Structure 1
Amino acid sequence: MPKIVDHDERRLELVDATWRIIARLGIEGATMREIATEAGFANGALKPYFPTKDTLLTFAFGHVFNRTNERIAEVTAGKTGLAALRAFALEVLPLDEERVHEARIVIPFWQKAITDAEKAAIHRDSMEQWHGAILEHLTQARKNGDVSSAVGDGAIAGSLLNMLLGAQIAAALAPQGQVDHGLSDQLEGFLALLQAGP
């Protein structure tokens, strides 16, 4: 009887292998052959799932984004306003090895998105979704009286989002194994400024 292959599971195995290779060798070293070997597949076995490294990178970005959103949904459940905003940001920040590896996937995707309209659109849609979520938490926090900054919520949301994205770069460029970049303290400082008043 032929073995039943779970194609979704196999794609995720390939994404996990891609993370490990990029963490060790960088994006240039993440050849399809290296990824296949890392995942325990024959080189040609990748083609039905990801014809090119570009398609794999796009899928990996989507997987990282969706996985982050699942974590965000868990940690913000039952929270509103500033508490939800803090939980959201802490989940995006690369505060552990897993999220640093995710940053190492996201950054090569961004690099490709500079000249690839399809990838740029995927990034733009993803960030609009996050910007909207941040804005919603900020609006509630202001209604709760937890935000008194004279700066408008749109500008605050954009600043926080840029801070979160910049943290990905800082973490990815840090020495191997270093995961404490003071990001939690920086976030708390940012949130304190929102409560500082006009």
Structure 2
Amino acid sequence: MPRIVDHDERRRQICDALLDVTAEVGVASATIRGVAERSGWSTGVIGHFFKNRKDLLLGGLRRAAEIHSEHNTRMLSTLEGLQALESILEGAMPLDRRRLAMCRIFFFFYAEAMCDEQLRLEIESYLVGWRRSVARAIRQAQEKGDLQPHLDARSISADLIGLVEGLATHAMLDPSALARLQEFSPIRFWVRRLALPSEAARDDAISDPVHQVVA
């Protein structure tokens, strides 16, 4: 009896292998052959699921979006207040190999989307979902009493995501900035600036190697 193949799972596994390769060599150097070597499947098997390299990269983009969405949902259901907000924001920063790969493939397609309306709409839908998750985390933090109640969650979510993407972009272009970011993410510092006075005061008592000021 022939073995039943879960095609969706196989596609995810191939895309995971692509993300691993992307973390090591970048998007431009990621090839079908390289993904085949990493995944253990032949180029023919990969060709059954993806018609060409561009299709494979697009699959990687969608897998990265899926991983990101799953992470956000998990953080919202398992963490509370500022911890959930910080974790959701840091989920899109290149703080480890997987998130590095996700940033690389997202930024690659950001550039492509500027000239491709269909792709732009797809990426826009990912960004809308991300902003909703961040806004929800902000509201939960406000309800918990961690954040100032007058803050507009939708506006602040857009601002914080802009901060995250700016930090990630610089890290992608400057190895020293990437090393600094991976050593200590500044997201907590900036999120706590939005906190209620009691929360901010507690945070100021904690040493911050990134923004510590020496008198």
* TM-score class normalised by the smaller sequence: 0.7 to 0.9
* Gap change, CA 1:147 and 1:20, over 3 Å in 2: closer
Distance 2:194 2:156 in 1: 8
2:181 alignment partner, SS class: coil
Paired residues of 1:23 and 1:101 also in contact (CA < 8 A): yes
Instruction: Give the AA of the match of 1:85.
Output: L
Distance 1:84 1:22 in 2: 28
Matching of residues 1-198 of structure 1 within 5 Å: 1-148=1-148, 152-175=152-175, 180-181=180-181, 185-195=185-195
Q: Deviations over 1:124-146 (max 9, x none)?
A: 11111111122222234334443
Q: Mind listing any 5+ residue stretches in structure 1 that lack a counterpart? A: none
Measured after TM superposition, the shift of residue 42 of structure 1 is 3.2
Q: Deviations over 1:96-118 (max 9, x none)?
A: 22221222222222222222222
Paired residues of 1:75 and 1:87 also in contact (CA < 8 A): yes
Q: Pairwise CA RMSD of aligned residues?
A: 2.9
Instruction: Give the AA of the match of 1:135.
Output: A
- Quote the sequence identity (%): 25
**Paired residues, what number?**
196
Distance 1:159 1:24 in 2: 30
TM-score, scaled to structure 1: 0.79
Paired residues of 2:75 and 2:88 also in contact (CA < 8 A): yes
Instruction: Give the AA of the match of 1:192.
Output: R
Distance 2:183 2:166 in 1: 11
Distance 2:7 2:83 in 1: 38
* Gap change, CA 1:101 and 1:191, over 3 Å in 2: same
1:51 alignment partner, SS class: coil
Paired residues of 1:103 and 1:168 also in contact (CA < 8 A): yes
Distance 1:17 1:83 in 2: 30
Distance 2:41 2:153 in 1: 49
Paired residues of 1:167 and 1:183 also in contact (CA < 8 A): no
Residue aligning to 2:202: none
